[in-house]
């Protein structure tokens, strides 16, 4: 992050269904890390496969592909 800002990560299935939303207030400038535990918003473990993670922070949006293996 270039400046301190709220960070939001949304996890989607390859079909576009939102699986999980993670939010962090006060992300600090520089590198930040977090871990997704592989569960959906109700706490149920997701199936193995490919998911998309959309990171929104400081007015910009980045999408990455992630894989879940059990």
pLDDT at residue 61, rounded to an integer: 94
Long-range contacts at 54-60 (CB < 8 A, ≥ 24 apart): 54/9, 54/10, 54/11, 54/12, 55/7, 55/8, 55/9, 56/7, 56/8, 56/9, 56/10, 57/1, 57/5, 57/6, 57/7, 57/8, 57/27, 58/1, 58/2, 58/3, 58/5
* Tens of pLDDT, residues 23-63: 887 677 777 788 899 999 999 999 999 999 999 988 889 99
pLDDT at residue 56, rounded to an integer: 92
Percent of the chain with pLDDT over 90: 64
Give 1 or 20, the one with higher predicted confidence: 20
């Amino acid at each position: 992050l270039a400046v301190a800002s709220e960070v939001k990560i949304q996890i989607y299935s390859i079909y576009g269904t939102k699986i999980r939303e993670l939010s962090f207030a006060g992300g600090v400038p520089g590198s930040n890390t977090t871990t997704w535990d592989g569960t959906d918003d109700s706490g149920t473990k997701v199936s193995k496969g490919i998911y998309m993670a959309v990171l929104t922070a400081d007015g910009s949006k980045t999408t990455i592909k992630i894989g879940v293996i059990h």
